[in-house]
């Protein structure tokens, strides 16, 4: 965190000043480790084993916050008798279909709901990264459940959890992760001791956690721990995701994703959602508890915001204009489609895939096979110049004279050169004023898209073609100002907030959304950010002039709520769990919820409220169900649906690993998304043959001195000179083993690429003892590319393409490689070296090893 988020890290240092104990788990000793109280080196890609060990530690020692767990989580809920755990399936839950490599989730359901899951095969959900839509709410589940409040029923979630993690012992943590038992116990003890009625603990992760083939399950494991310890919905608790750069949270709220519309409304699928009603019902699930019951109002209001007067109840608010998904349109599928000539044009905005995305060579070859490419960036980045300066030019794979892609480079305004908002990890919107005019032809994204739309509409004006109506009927009337006709960002914020169509009055909460076409809302979860016609995100009241929740600084969605599910900060009767952790509570005299924050609950619903039988929507939420966006009002220790690779996290090895999975026969996530394309390949892992060809684990991350793919730092002298060359960090032990010398060159080989880097031999890297073997890990920064003041080979070139099934995020934080002293070959000799390694490893490009591990021997597995 100190390495990638130094400014946010000041609060960790502040906590440390006040006596907090800081633990840091990382494959390499970083600037965070330097100031942490305890550092735990870990083998990259084994976090579920570590966190699963903590879950077991909690359950075995009964350290869970029992009253919280019983009332607020689904611990007592009884699961279908058809459910079978990975412990019984040697790495598989019940319902696996080897044909599609996906699960049928019927058997995972709560008892009595087996037929109502309606999930069928989840292969389609995987293709559309359907898991992403659950960022604001849980997956569908029936509201009426059977429970055993004694937690003794063998099929209640608590007992299932206990059995599932029973083998994740401190010994197993050591064996899988390479973390000595004493250190693991130190962590588990501190975490549990600092949670409960009087204390809360926070789990902070950064997006490196998501870049694994089991990334979603990493975070699920963390969430399970936080729920067991009562750390959700309470001050000082939670699971905080530190994003990769500013407003990543905002870019899923108002998504730049193929599968979502604003406010986590799913992009319709052409086969499943032919009509507006079918689309809406797929979101709101008639009969389900919770706030998604109003999905029809949110959906209608969104379409009303898009198409204004043209959108009427009679024409389903122009639902027919919405684009439809037909399958996987994720970034990696698109790149492969480019290589195959299926995609003709590409807009690239503030992104540098030639350096920043996994399998850089595939990215560059794809972009070299387009008709046109628009790159908007601050500097001339690698993704704009790959056709003349990329490594494939040296190898002869791209010939500049023949490259067919026409590249349009458009200079972009930086964040200080335009106004707008950032949404950070706490869902807090903070407004930015423009500090300086952008230089030269540089323009804001808002300017670019507004005027692009304006010009397209001008060109289409008068067209009678139905296909052009979607563009021509758009509301596209933002006021502009200044010499360049810059659109008003505040007018966009007003539309996002939503307004009453007849009066134009900005809405103050999403409760005002209507399904009759009388409201237009650009993003329903942001409603209130422009309440009373005031830009609430621009509020800057000092923390010294208000209470510690600081509700008048910026604005947080939903409804300016700073902690989600904060009903959980009070006990089931509505009283604070403790004076020290008082936050939101029930005031019986006034008959309403009150506290420091906006209560995340219906204001006047008493704790004693019990829903009548068969109630749905918000009415179905009981007075002691804090998790109001979940179908059953409970925090999910066990996810009966919505997570495609299992209701519980399970340790699978990374797709590329030198180690046989010590826990199960199944080696890696059986539901991962793979692409059998000639450009792609996966290094062999045990029990496949030849895994020793790539004996070392490599992981990549950031340096403080650089930013992501380097476009904003390798181009700026004061930053570039602080880390001026690509390097690889190796332990003295590995340096000795491979004959690597400090500051000399080394090159790293994977089945995709060879890259070279200067060697830094450092004690900050350590070998690990894993399952009786010594495993070496190396670390690389992923900032370098071939443009800018300082250049170097790109670490991401080493990766292949394997994705998490839930959200289609690539495994780009762990892979296997070989490390050799000296510089890499150049020209065609470089391709020959890769080919030689592929031959030795038995890699046939385009052919993936089967996702289901087929060996039957139990050797090396922890059956005992």
Partner 1 sequence: MIPDPNSLYGPLDPAPDAGWSTAPPRMGFFTDTSVCIGCKACEVACKEWNGVPGSGLDLLGMSYDNTGALTANSWRHVAFIEQPRPAGHRTPPFAGTPTDGPVSAASAAVAAGTSGRTGTDPGLPTGAPSAAARMATGGPADVLGAPIAAGRGGGGPIAAVARDNGPVAAAPRDIGPATADPGDGGSGPQFLGMPGAQPPGRGSGAEGRTDFRWLMMSDVCKHCTHAACLDVCPTGSLFRTEFGTVVVQEDICNGCGYCISACPYGVIDQRKDDGRAWKCTLCYDRLGVGMTPACAQACPTESIQYGELEELRERAAARVATLHERGVPEARLYGHDPNDGVGGDGAFFLLLDEPEVYGLPPDPVVTTRDLPKMWKRAGLAALAMAAATVAAFVGGSS
Nearer to partner 1 (CB atom), residue 190 or residue 257: 190
Phi, psi of 25 (to 5 degrees): -110, 120
Quick count: other Cβ atoms within 10 Å of Cβ 863? 10
Nearer to partner 1 (CB atom), residue 453 or residue 821: 821
Length in residues, the chain: 864
- For residue 269, CA distances in Å to 129, 288, 320, 652, 806 come to 12, 22, 12, 31, 17
Nearer to partner 1 (CB atom), residue 18 or residue 467: 18
| Structure-block tokens of residue 562 | 């700073």
- Give the span between the Cα atoms of 126 and 590, in whole angstroms: 48
Nearer to partner 1 (CB atom), residue 406 or residue 721: 721
Nearer to partner 1 (CB atom), residue 75 or residue 720: 720
Closest separation between CB of residue 9 and partner 1, Å?
6
Closest separation between CB of residue 183 and partner 1, Å?
7
| Structure-block tokens of residue 781 | 């920064």
Alpha helices in 686-786 (DSSP H): 717-720, 732-738
Nearer to partner 1 (CB atom), residue 194 or residue 762: 762
Closest separation between CB of residue 716 and partner 1, Å?
9
Nearer to partner 1 (CB atom), residue 644 or residue 719: 719
Contact 367, 769 (CB under 8 A): no
Nearer to partner 1 (CB atom), residue 29 or residue 306: 29
- Give the span between the Cα atoms of 650 and 245, in whole angstroms: 29
Closest separation between CB of residue 691 and partner 1, Å?
12
- Give the span between the Cα atoms of 131 and 639, in whole angstroms: 12
Q: How remote is the C-alpha of 286 from its chain's centroid? A: 28
- Give the span between the Cα atoms of 546 and 554, in whole angstroms: 13
Residue ranges in contact with partner 1 by CB under 8 A: 2, 6-7, 9-10, 13, 16-17, 29, 31-39, 41, 178, 180, 182-183, 186, 692, 695, 703-705, 717-725, 727, 731-744, 758, 760-764, 766-769, 773-774, 776, 789-790, 821
Closest separation between CB of residue 762 and partner 1, Å?
5
Closest separation between CB of residue 193 and partner 1, Å?
16
Nearer to partner 1 (CB atom), residue 480 or residue 762: 762
- Give the span between the Cα atoms of 53 and 175, in whole angstroms: 12
- For residue 540, CA distances in Å to 52, 509, 551, 598 come to 42, 21, 10, 19
Closest separation between CB of residue 242 and partner 1, Å?
14
Closest separation between CB of residue 439 and partner 1, Å?
17
Closest separation between CB of residue 658 and partner 1, Å?
10
Closest separation between CB of residue 822 and partner 1, Å?
11
Nearer to partner 1 (CB atom), residue 590 or residue 742: 742
- Give the span between the Cα atoms of 499 and 510, in whole angstroms: 10
Closest separation between CB of residue 422 and partner 1, Å?
18
Specify the DSSP class assigned to residue 458. H
Nearer to partner 1 (CB atom), residue 430 or residue 802: 430
- For residue 171, CA distances in Å to 28, 177, 663, 848 come to 22, 10, 12, 33
Closest separation between CB of residue 37 and partner 1, Å?
5
Which among 560, 503, 553 is positioned nearest to 531, based on CA atoms?
A: 560
Burial of 260 (0-12, 13-18, 19+ CB in 10 A): buried
Burial of 252 (0-12, 13-18, 19+ CB in 10 A): buried
Nearer to partner 1 (CB atom), residue 234 or residue 764: 764
- Give the span between the Cα atoms of 548 and 552, in whole angstroms: 10
- Give the span between the Cα atoms of 391 and 490, in whole angstroms: 43
Quick count: other Cβ atoms within 10 Å of Cβ 18? 7
């Amino acid at each position: 965190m100190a390495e990638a988020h130094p400014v946010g890290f000041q609060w960790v240092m502040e906590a440390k000043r006040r006596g907090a104990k800081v633990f840091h788990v990382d494959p390499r000793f970083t600037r965070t480790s330097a100031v942490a109280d305890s550092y735990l080196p870990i083998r990259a890609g084994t976090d579920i084993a570590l966190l699963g060990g903590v879950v077991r530690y909690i359950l075995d020692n009964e350290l869970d916050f029992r009253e919280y767990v019983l009332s607020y989580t689904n611990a007592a809920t009884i699961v279908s008798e058809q459910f079978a755990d990975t412990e019984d399936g040697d790495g598989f839950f019940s319902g696996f279909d080897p044909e599609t490599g996906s699960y049928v989730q019927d058997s995972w359901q709560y008892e009595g709901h087996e037929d109502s899951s309606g999930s069928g095969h989840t292969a389609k959900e995987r293709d559309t990264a359907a898991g992403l839509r659950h960022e604001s709410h849980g997956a569908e589940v029936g509201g009426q459940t059977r429970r055993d409040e004694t937690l003794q029923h063998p099929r209640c979630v608590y007992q299932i959890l206990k059995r599932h993690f029973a083998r994740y012992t401190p010994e197993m943590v050591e064996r899988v992760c390479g973390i000595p038992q004493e250190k693991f116990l130190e962590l588990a003890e501190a975490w549990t001791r600092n949670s409960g009625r009087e204390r809360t603990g926070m789990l902070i992760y950064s997006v490196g956690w998501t870049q694994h083939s089991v990334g979603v399950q990493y975070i699920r494991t963390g969430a399970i721990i936080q729920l067991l310890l009562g750390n959700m919905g309470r001050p000082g608790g939670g699971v905080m995701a530190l994003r990769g750069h500013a407003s990543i949270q905002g870019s899923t709220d108002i998504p730049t994703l193929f599968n979502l519309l604003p406010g986590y409304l799913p992009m319709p699928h052409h086969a499943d959602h032919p009509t507006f009603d079918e689309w809406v019902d797929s979101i709101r699930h008639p009969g389900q508890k919770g706030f998604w019951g109003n999905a029809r109002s949110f959906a209608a209001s969104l379409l009303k915001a898009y198409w204004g007067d043209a959108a009427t109840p009679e024409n389903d608010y122009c639902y027919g204009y919405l684009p439809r998904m037909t399958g996987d349109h994720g970034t990696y599928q698109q790149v492969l489609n480019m290589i195959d000539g299926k995609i003709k044009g590409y807009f690239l905005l503030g992104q540098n895939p030639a350096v920043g995305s996994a399998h850089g060579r595939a990215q560059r070859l794809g972009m070299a096979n387009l008709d046109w490419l628009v790159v908007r960036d601050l500097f001339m980045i690698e993704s704009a110049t790959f056709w003349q300066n990329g490594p494939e030019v040296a190898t002869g794979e791209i010939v500049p004279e023949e490259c067919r892609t026409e590249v349009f480079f458009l200079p972009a305004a930086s964040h200080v050169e335009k106004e707008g908002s950032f949404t950070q990890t706490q869902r807090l919107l903070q407004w930015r004023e423009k500090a300086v005019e952008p230089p030269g032809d540089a323009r804001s994204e808002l300017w670019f898209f507004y005027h692009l739309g304006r010009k397209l509409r001008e060109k289409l004006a008068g067209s009678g073609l139905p296909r052009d109506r979607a563009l021509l009927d758009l509301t596209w009337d933002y006021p502009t100002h200044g010499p360049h006709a810059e659109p008003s960002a505040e007018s966009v914020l007003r539309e996002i907030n939503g307004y009453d169509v007849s009066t134009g009055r900005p809405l103050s909460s999403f409760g005002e959304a209507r399904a009759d076409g009388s409201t237009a809302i650009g993003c329903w979860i942001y409603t209130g950010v422009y309440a009373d016609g005031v830009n609430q995100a621009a509020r800057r009241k000092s923390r010294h002039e208000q209470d510690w929740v600081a509700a008048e600084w910026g604005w947080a969605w939903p409804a300016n709520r700073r902690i989600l599910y904060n009903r959980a900060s009070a006990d089931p009767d509505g009283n604070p769990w403790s004076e020290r952790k008082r936050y939101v509570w029930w005031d019986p005299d006034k008959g309403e919820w009150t506290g420091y924050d906006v209560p995340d609950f219906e204001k006047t619903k008493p704790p004693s409220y019990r829903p009548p039988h068969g109630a749905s929507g918000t009415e179905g939420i009981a007075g002691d169900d804090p998790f109001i966006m979940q179908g059953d009002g409970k925090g999910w220790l066990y996810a009966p649906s919505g997570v495609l690779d299992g209701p519980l996290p399970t340790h699978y090895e990374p797709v590329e690993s030198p180690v046989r999975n010590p826990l199960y026969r199944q080696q890696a996530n059986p539901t991962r998304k793979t692409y059998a394309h000639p450009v792609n390949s996966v290094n062999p892992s045990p029990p496949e043959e030849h895994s020793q060809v790539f004996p070392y684990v490599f992981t990549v991350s950031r340096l403080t001195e650089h930013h992501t793919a380097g476009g904003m730092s390798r181009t700026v002298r004061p930053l570039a000179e602080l880390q001026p060359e690509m390097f690889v960090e190796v332990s003295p032990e590995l340096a000795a083993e491979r004959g690597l010398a400090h500051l000399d060159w080394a090159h790293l080989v994977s089945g995709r690429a060879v890259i070279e880097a200067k060697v830094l031999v450092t004690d900050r890297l350590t070998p690990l003892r894993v399952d009786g073997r010594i495993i070496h890990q190396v670390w690389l920064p992923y900032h370098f590319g071939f443009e800018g003041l300082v250049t170097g080979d790109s670490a991401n070139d080493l990766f292949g393409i394997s994705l998490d099934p839930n959200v289609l995020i690539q495994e780009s934080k762990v892979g296997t490689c070989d490390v050799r002293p000296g510089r890499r070959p150049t020209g065609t000799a470089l391709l020959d070296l890769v080919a030689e390694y592929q031959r030795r490893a038995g890699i046939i490009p385009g052919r993936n090893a089967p996702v289901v591990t087929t060996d039957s021997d139990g050797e090396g597995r922890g059956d005992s």
